[in-house]
């Protein structure tokens, strides 16, 4: 299960990424919004981050104009490791080395094709563990 949420700037891109992920056979939950009417991005970041934090969903994707606000809000939740990425390589490394469970994308920064590629890489890449597990554990320790 993967969930997506956005603010008004990310509605179109979120809809496209949902279609791509469903095409990969994933169960996708769209947490909103569904129209471009102005909304406050922290509301949607917190909604998705709570679902990750309490284990209702394994991973999520957040989209706003730059991705910055979404990542800042999401990372306030225990167990959430939200990574603001700009290309497929950063999305891959966020998963492989940091065990990121939330991908943040800037709809006004990244083109649609690149964003779709990032989403695919994010859901298809596994965490390497090993030496990286020790580092992720240090992130978690600082949260408590």
Question: Which is nearest to 47 in space by CA: 88, 76, 90?
Answer: 76
Q: What is the pLDDT of residue 138?
A: 84
77 as an active site residue: the answer is no
Assigned CATH topology for domain 2-143 = Ribose 5-phosphate Isomerase B; Chain: A, (3.40.1400)
Q: Which among 50, 86, 97, 132 is annotated as catalytic? A: 97
The domain locations on the chain are 2-143
Whether 48 has a pLDDT exceeding 70, the answer reads yes
Strand, coil or helix: 114: helix
**pLDDT per residue as tens digits for the range 104-138:** 999 999 999 999 999 999 999 999 777 788 888 88
8 as an active site residue: the answer is no
Q: Which among 18, 64, 85, 104 is annotated as catalytic? A: 64
Cross-strand bridge partners of residue 57: none
Characterize 110-124 residue by residue with b for buried, 16 or more Cβ atoms within 10 angstroms of its Cβ, and e for exposed.
beeebbbbbbbbbbe
Stated pTM of the model: 0.94
Q: What is the pLDDT of residue 19?
A: 97
Edge-to-edge order in the sheet of strand 102-106: 28-30, 2-6, 59-64, 102-106, 82-84
CA distances from 46 to 13, 19, 22, 71 (A): 19, 23, 23, 10
Token duo for residue 77: 């939740």
Residue 68 phi/psi, 5-degree rounding, is: -65, -55
């Amino acid at each position: 299960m993967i969930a997506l949420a956005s603010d008004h700037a990310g509605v179109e891109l979120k809809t496209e990424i949902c279609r791509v992920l469903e095409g990969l056979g994933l169960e996708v939950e769209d947490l909103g919004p569904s129209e471009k009417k102005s909304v406050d991005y922290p509301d949607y970041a917190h909604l998705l981050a709570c679902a990750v934090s309490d284990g209702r969903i394994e991973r999520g994707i957040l989209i706003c104009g730059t991705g910055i606000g979404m990542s800042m809000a999401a990372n306030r939740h225990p167990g959430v490791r939200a990574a603001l990425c700009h290309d497929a390589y950063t999305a891959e490394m966020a998963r492989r080395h940091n065990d990121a469970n939330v991908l943040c994308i800037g709809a006004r920064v990244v083109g649609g094709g690149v964003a779709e590629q990032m989403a695919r890489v994010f859901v298809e890449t596994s965490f390497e563990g090993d030496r990286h597990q020790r580092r992720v554990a240090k992130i978690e320790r600082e949260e408590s």
